[in-house]
Every structure is written in C-alpha cells, then in structure tokens.
C-alpha cells in the first residue's frame, strides 16, 4: 500500500531529514513539503492526502491550530504524525487523536514503526470501505442469476407476482413478492414508502408530502409513510 504524504516543518534542515526518511520508505509517496501550515492547507483543498508529518512549532498558525482547522473543515482528515523536539507536545498531541508522536531528532526505527501504524489504520479503513461498497445480492431475471450491487439499486416496483428492480445499470423483472424482496435488502438503507414501491434512501433527490423523486421519476408516497421517511432520512445521514 502506498501512502500519499506531505511534510510540514519550518526548519529547513530538520524538514530535509524528514523528507529523506520519507523518500527512503517504500510505502511513502511524498507529494510535497511545506514550511507553513497556510501553504499546506491550500494544497489539501485540492489534493487527497493520507498522511501529514507535522511539526507543531510553526509561526503564524501552529500545528495544533492547523489540526483544529482541518477538523472543522470539510477536508477529509488524513492520518497525523506529530514531529517535535518539545516533549511537552507529546501529551497534547494525543488529545487530537493523532496516529503517533515522534521526538526530534528522528530515530529511523521509531519512524518506521509509526509508518506501520498508519498502514494498519489505512488498511482497516479500506477494508471497511470495500466491504460496504461491495455489498450485493443475486437476482434471477430471464432465467439468469445476476449480481446486483446494493449501491446501484434506485427503487423496486411491484408488478403483480413480480417485482421490477431499477438500477443504475438497467432494470430487471424478478419473480418475487415485495415483502420477500424487502427482506433481502440491508436494513436502514431502503424504505417501503408505498404498497408498490421500495426506495433506496441514498438515491432520493427531493421529496414532498406526496412524492419522492429519483432521477426525475416521481414515486408516490403513502400518507402513513411520511413520518417514517423523515425519520429514516435523519438516521441515514
């Protein structure tokens, strides 16, 4: 696994040492180095970063102030390794839920251990994401078993003894009751808003007291399902 990384340190010589250790590590892809948090923050707005190697003693905006900015922004939070010669920062750094703290001058062995911690955390996160993204069901349509990813389902429509499954890749007619098909879907992601319709909550574009709209298609909303829909949408955020 490759970790996209940036280094922030106002001290040129110490930054060079961190950069060298980063470039020598097989799992690190060093994207950039900065002497200020302001420059780094501008970079993060347009670039995905997995790890920040951060010195916290920085003029104007300190490393801890920078972490407050990241936590308060919509930027996805990267892993953080605090690097400092001030050991008093060690305890404070963990209150920010950083991955690790390293004292200067950097020890190669401790540096490698910290990177291994990052790798473990990112691998665990990726596995959870892959599991979530790969959720699927198999449906039988036109005498063939088809794999349908949960994320691709828009809505399900009743057709007598059949149901029509509408997805981002097309639609399928399946021999099933609405109740049976509903039981195969993961809880919390779908809602039956009408006797003839089950919708994917994540696909809703807009709704009112009578309709739910998905891809400009208006799906009727039963009166007794209005409150259910509001609560379901609140809990799915």
Verdict on whether the full-model pTM lies above 0.75: no
Task: Specify whether 141 is located in the same domain as 52.
Answer: no
Instruction: Check whether residue 115 and residue 160 sit in a common domain.
Output: no
Domain final position from 132, 151, 182: 132
26 lies in the same domain as 113:
yes
- Same domain flag for 156 and 208: yes
Do 205 and 183 lie in one domain? The reply is yes
Give residue 124's pLDDT.
65
Taking the CA atoms of residue 172, residue 178, residue 180 and residue 185 in that order, the dihedral angle to the nearest 10 degrees is 70
Tokens of 21: 């250790």
Burial 47-80 (b: 16+ CB within 10 A, else e): eebbbbbbbbbbeeeebbebbeebeeeeeeebbb
Do 21 and 119 belong together in one domain?
yes
Alpha helix stretches (DSSP H) within the chain: 12-24, 37-46, 63-72, 89-94, 108-133, 178-184, 226-236
Is the domain of 12 the same as that of 99?
Answer: yes
Are 94 and 181 in the same domain? Answer: no
User: How many distinct structural domains can be found in the chain?
Assistant: 2
Q: Which of 76, 97, 132 is the last residue of a domain?
A: 132
CA nearest to 161, candidates 142, 147, 143, 180: 180
Q: Are both 94 and 202 inside the same structural domain?
A: no
Q: Which residue has the tokens 């209150």?
A: 95
Q: Are residues 11 and 124 in the same domain?
A: yes
Structural tokens at position 180: 């049976």
CATH code for position 146: 2.40.50.1020
Residue 123 shares a structural domain with residue 71: yes
Cα separation, 193 vs 189, whole angstroms: 13
The residue segments making up the domain with residue 8 are 3-132
Q: Mutual orientation of helices 63-72 and 37-46 as an angle, nearest 10°?
A: 30
In the three-class reduction of DSSP (H, G, I as helix; E, B as strand; rest coil), residue 142 is classed as coil
State the pLDDT at residue 132.
54
Of 82, 116, 132, the last residue of a domain is: 132
Residue 203 half-sphere exposure toward CB, CA atoms < 13 A? 24
Per-residue pLDDT of the chain (237 residues; tens, 9 = 90+): 788 999 999 999 999 999 999 999 988 999 999 999 999 988 988 888 999 999 999 988 899 999 988 887 755 679 999 999 888 888 888 788 899 999 999 999 999 999 999 998 887 655 555 455 568 888 888 877 888 888 899 999 999 999 999 999 899 999 999 988 888 888 778 899 999 999 999 999 999 989 999 998 999 999 888 888 888 887 655
Do residues 158 and 102 both lie within one domain? Answer: no
The pLDDT of residue 106 is 93
């Amino acid at each position: 696994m490759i970790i996209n990384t940036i280094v922030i340190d106002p001290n040129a010589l110490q930054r060079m040492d961190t950069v060298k250790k980063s470039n020598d590590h097989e799992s690190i892809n060093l994207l950039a180095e900065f002497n200020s948090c302001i420059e780094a923050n501008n970079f993060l707005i347009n670039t995905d970063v997995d790890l920040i190697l951060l010195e916290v003693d920085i003029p104007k905006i300190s490393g801890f102030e920078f972490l407050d900015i990241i936590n308060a922004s919509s930027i996805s939070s990267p892993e953080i390794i605090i690097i400092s010669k001030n050991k008093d920062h060690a305890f404070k750094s963990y209150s920010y839920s950083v991955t690790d703290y390293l004292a200067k001058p950097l020890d190669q062995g401790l540096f490698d251990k910290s990177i291994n911690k990052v790798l473990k955390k990112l691998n665990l996160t990726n596995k959870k994401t892959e599991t979530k993204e790969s959720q699927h069901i198999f449906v039988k349509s036109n005498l063939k078993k088809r794999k349908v990813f949960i994320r691709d389902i828009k809505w399900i429509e009743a057709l007598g003894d059949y149901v029509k499954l509408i997805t981002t890749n097309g639609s399928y007619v399946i021999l099933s009751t609405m109740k049976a098909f509903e039981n195969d879907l993961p809880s919390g992601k779908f809602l039956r808003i009408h006797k003839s319709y089950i919708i994917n909550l994540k696909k809703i574009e807009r709704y009112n007291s009578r309709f739910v709209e998905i891809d400009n298609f208006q799906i009727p909303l039963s009166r007794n399902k209005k409150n259910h829909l509001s609560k379901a949408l609140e809990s799915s955020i």
